[in-house]
Amino acid sequence: MMPRMQARPQGGPGPPPAWLHSGDMADRLFDAVERAQLADLLGELGPEAPTLLAPWTTRDVAAHLVLRERDYLAGPGLVLPGAWGRLAERRRRALAQRDFTWLIAAIRSGPPPGFFRIGWVRRLPGLNEFFVHHEDVRRANGRGPRTNEHAMDEALWRNVSRARWFLARRLRGAGLELQWAGTGKTVRARRGEPVARLAGPPGELLLYLFGRQGAAQVELTGPAAAVQAVRRARFGM
């Protein structure tokens, strides 16, 4: 059973909840910004709007996000295959039957006490999760790429740089270099020859590496064999 959400206190707004505070103010709480904006968009679009994860709808994405943070038994099954993965999917489907406003409220209320409030978890997997799923919803509903403030792009580039080896691990037959377009910043995501280059804003690179190749606004260049290898590869978790 999922834990019952506590009622919000009545009256004035009071102090911000503890989960909003980051141990490193340079992070600017970008995971919290993405979470709040996604919750707003889910409320605007309703439970049956499309996402880039077809056949998933906005209801399915909301259930996935709630399960990830609040079901410690099934949550690991979101990345682990086999019986654990099947358990996670059964429990996600059960969550998707909950009232949609409850799901949105659970997302908006922030991570529960514990693992998902840890600073590095918020900065890396937390920001990635909410940014990518925010775009899954936005772009499937006719909303194009955003122009992020520079500090946000810096946070996303840091995450691209840290996760690149894992997200590109299935690429075979070529090397891959990532470039933050318009800057001199590049990192190697996969060793090998020939080498392809993927260039774009950090958020677009992150979307590509998370398997949203069809939606990511990037430029892929290099020898034909390398480009084809990248296009064939399965990126993501």
The verdict on 34 and 116 lying in the same domain is yes
In a domain, 129, yes or no: yes
Q: Count CB atoms within 10 A of the CB of residue 22.
A: 16
In a domain, 15, yes or no: no
The verdict on 77 and 109 lying in the same domain is yes
Mean pLDDT of the chain: 87
pLDDT along the chain (237 residues), means of 10: 36 42 55 96 97 96 94 73 81 92 95 89 94 97 91 96 93 95 93 95 96 95 96 91
In a domain, 60, yes or no: yes
State the total domains in the chain: 2
The verdict on 69 and 127 lying in the same domain is yes
Q: Write out the residue range of the structural domain in which residue 26 sits.
A: 21-140
> Which residues are paired to 188 by β-bridges?
177
In a domain, 148, yes or no: no
Q: Of 139, 115, 108, which is closest to residue 210 (Cα–Cα)? A: 139
pTM for the model: 0.86
The verdict on 167 and 222 lying in the same domain is yes
pLDDT tens, position by position, 132-183: 999 999 999 999 899 999 999 999 999 999 999 999 999 999 999 999 999 9
The fraction of the chain above a pLDDT of 70, given in percent, is 88
